[in-house]
Amino acid sequence: MSHVTNEQLDRLLEQALLLDDHGALARRLDALAGGYESGEMSRAAILVLAAEEWRQAGQPATALDRFQSAVEDGGEVPVDPRAGIADTLFELDRPEEARDVVAAIEADGWNPATALTVAETLAAYGDPDGALEWATRGVRACPPGSPIRDSLLRTRYRIRVDLGLPEDDLDALLDISR
């Protein structure tokens, strides 16, 4: 299958979800990426999907390899695959390496969707201050009305509540977007 449409990929994902077999879906996505030439989505995006499925299947080392392959591929993806690498490194109890990856993302530039992923990762692995910083910068980088902005505002608010911080001007925007 060298050319794939989003519809074909959606059907594949739906079938796997119905079977609740993340390993099988990961293997199918690997095979798809291996023979992929063109389509509505980049090969890198398929590799990221495979990585996420490998994580769901309890295979973080394989997921790490697929995220790295997505970085090397260089194709267009909604979220920088290095954010998945950082999350997986935390999962593998390699926090220093994960922080190095986050620093590289910060240095190289990022988009709001990547900021959301990094914020959620840092919050999940015990760095609420870092998570708040990423969520705040992500909100400020988003245009009003963006679905990613709304997600960043919700994540940021949740982190601020966990930190016991009072509501601020950005938290007030969350009330508007509800």
- Choice among 33-47, 104-118, 154-168 with the minimum mean pLDDT: 33-47
Q: What per-residue string of b and e applies to 154-173 under the rule 16 or more CB within 10 Å gives b?
A: ebbbbbbeeeeeeeeebeeb
Confidence of residue 36 (pLDDT cuts 50, 70, 90): confident
Q: What is the per-residue pLDDT for 16?
A: 66
Q: What is the per-residue pLDDT for 178?
A: 47
- Choice among 3-7, 77-81, 96-100, 138-142 with the minimum mean pLDDT: 3-7
Q: Spell out the domain ranges in the chain.
A: 1-77
Cα 171 from Cα 101, distance rounded (Å): 28
pLDDT at 52 exceeding the cut of 90: yes
Distance of CA 158 to CAs 1, 137, 150, 171, Å?
43, 15, 12, 10
Phi and psi angles of residue 43, each rounded to the nearest 5 degrees, phi first: -60, -40
Render pLDDT for 109-127 as a digit per residue (tens, 0 to 9). Answer: 999 999 999 999 999 999 9
Q: The whole model's pTM is what? A: 0.86
